[in-house]
Amino acid sequence: MSSIPRLFVHSDLSREGYAALDEAQGKYLTRVLRLGIGAPVRVFNGRDGEWDALIDTVEGRAVLLKMKAERRSQASTPDLTLLFAPLKKARTDYVVEKATELGVSLIQPVMTEYTQSARVRADRLQKIALEAAEQTERLDLPVVHEAAYIGAALDALEADCPVYYCDEAGDDPGAVWGGEDGRAPAMVEVLKAHPARRGAILIGPEGGFSPTERISLRARGNVHPVSLGPRILRAETAAVSAITLWQSVLGDWT
């Protein structure tokens, strides 16, 4: 892995152009990495590709980079949304970091009947996504939204956006894991049957979806229940698995 630091910046990036770093980034380069003028840095802004740059100016806390050459031209990221019920803090952080590495473009925490975690700090999660995007060498940042109720989050999606609703249970409350009635088909089969250039994956909380939610989810024309196999996965495992399948069948891993 390259030892040259890679940073997300807001400035436009062009040949012989400059990019001003924020205070934390400037401190990281000059104090933590102890880099000085002339040191190489790689930058991206989600619009203009990735550039090789050099530290041009260090004045107190202000650090300015000068662009030298475009390293990679901007590439589009698949239009994949992850809707997930917030979990305990560390597990939510894990979901955001892995969704970023796996190429999700929008991360939407959703409040459901059984969601355990009350509040979600979108600004804190966005920072986790930014650091993961720098590390994973993405050319863009996933957007992390504030939490929304599941109905509103689904309503906000484009009407032609398939929602792959990860459903671990069958409909029979008296049977183990809901028995076989209403059990969802395998996700790979559903992806092949409902291909689309955009998509959304829905992952429930530790307690799963309520019976009412299950009925209302399946009543939506663009929602497709999918199974991730015969075992109950932790929500964070289910998120990684479902995104991996989508990327492999419909995304940019093909």
Q: Which residues bind ligand SAH (CB under 6 A)?
A: 166-168, 203-204, 206-209, 227-229, 231-233, 235, 238
Nearer to ligand SAH, 55 or 166 (CB): 166
Nearer to ligand SAH, 163 or 235 (CB): 235
The minimum distance between CB 215 and ligand SAH, in angstroms, equals 15
Give the chain as a 3 state SS string. Answer: CCCCCEEECCCCCCCCCEEECCHHHHHHHHHHCCCCCCCEEEEECCCCCEEEEEEEEEECCEEEEEEEEEEECCCCCCEEEEEECCCCHHHHHHHHHHHHHCCCCEEEEEECCCCCCCCCCHHHHHHHHHHHHHHHCCCCCCEECCCEEHHHHHHCCCCCCCEEEECCCCCCCCCHHHCCCCCCCEHHHHHHHCCCCEEEEEECCCCCCCHHHHHHHHCCCCEEEEECCCCCCCHHHHHHHHHHHHHHHCCCCC
CB-nearer residue toward ligand SAH: 139 or 239:
239
Least distance to ligand SAH, CB of residue 243, Å: 12
Least spacing, CB of residue 96 vs ligand SAH, in Å: 16
Select 103 or 204, whichever has its Cβ closest to ligand SAH.
204
Cβ proximity to ligand SAH: between 51 and 164 the closer is: 164
- The least distance separating ligand SAH from the CB of residue 138, rounded to whole angstroms, comes to 25
State in angstroms the smallest separation of the CB of 94 from ligand SAH: 14
